[in-house]
């Protein structure tokens, strides 16, 4: 969006106040989507405060699952050290694609032409017995 809107819009990324507030905090890692994670200070319960600076629009679905658990204090250490290595069958995290050209469109959706396969006739509606 540019430097002119940054001081006024929080939905486009970190504002100047957030960037200044992170001075003195420790950068602990970065995920595959480019988000950067910080830790520093304590909250009222004595837990360390944790932040994410999004690489792009502020959208919580853009946080990888392993970093989500770190942000919410489900694991104590950064995911690389606290969690086991990903399994071979696990897919990488993707953000919510609703509203984009890559969103899922089922057969028959208007965006895919609005035509769906004809019914096969194997459906029998339920009717209550008298």
Domain ranges in the chain? 16-112
The residue written with tokens 């959706």 in the block is 109
> For the chain, what percent of residues have pLDDT higher than 90?
19
Higher confidence at residue 6 or residue 119?
Answer: 119
Q: If DSSP codes are grouped into helix, strand and coil, which group holds residue 119? A: coil
The tens digit of pLDDT for each residue in 29-88 reads 999 888 999 999 888 999 899 989 888 878 888 888 889 999 999 998 999 888 888 899
Position 126 pLDDT exceeds 80: yes
Query: What is the pTM (predicted TM-score) of this model?
Result: 0.68
- Residue 88 phi/psi, 5-degree rounding, is -65, -30
Give the tokens for residue 89. Answer: 């069958």
- By the 10 Å C-beta count (0-12 exposed, 13-18 middle, 19+ buried), 12 is classed as middle
Which residues on adjacent β-strands are paired with residue 53?
36
Give the tokens for residue 85. Answer: 């290595």
Mean pLDDT of the chain: 83
Closest by alpha carbon to 94, among 109, 79, 105, 104? Answer: 104
Higher confidence at residue 89 or residue 13?
Answer: 89
């Amino acid at each position: 969006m540019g430097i002119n809107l940054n001081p006024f819009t929080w939905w486009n990324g970190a504002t100047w106040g957030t960037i200044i507030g992170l001075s003195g905090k420790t950068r602990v890692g970065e995920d595959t989507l480019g988000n950067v994670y910080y830790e520093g200070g304590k909250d009222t319960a004595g837990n360390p405060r944790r932040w994410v600076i999004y690489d792009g629009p502020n959208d919580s679905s853009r946080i990888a699952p392993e970093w989500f658990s770190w942000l919410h204090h489900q694991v104590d250490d950064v995911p690389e050290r606290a969690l086991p290595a990903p399994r071979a069958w696990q897919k990488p995290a993707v953000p919510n694609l609703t509203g984009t050209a890559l969103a899922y469109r089922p057969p028959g959706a208007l965006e895919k032409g609005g035509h769906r396969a004809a019914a096969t006739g194997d459906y029998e509606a339920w009717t209550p017995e008298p």
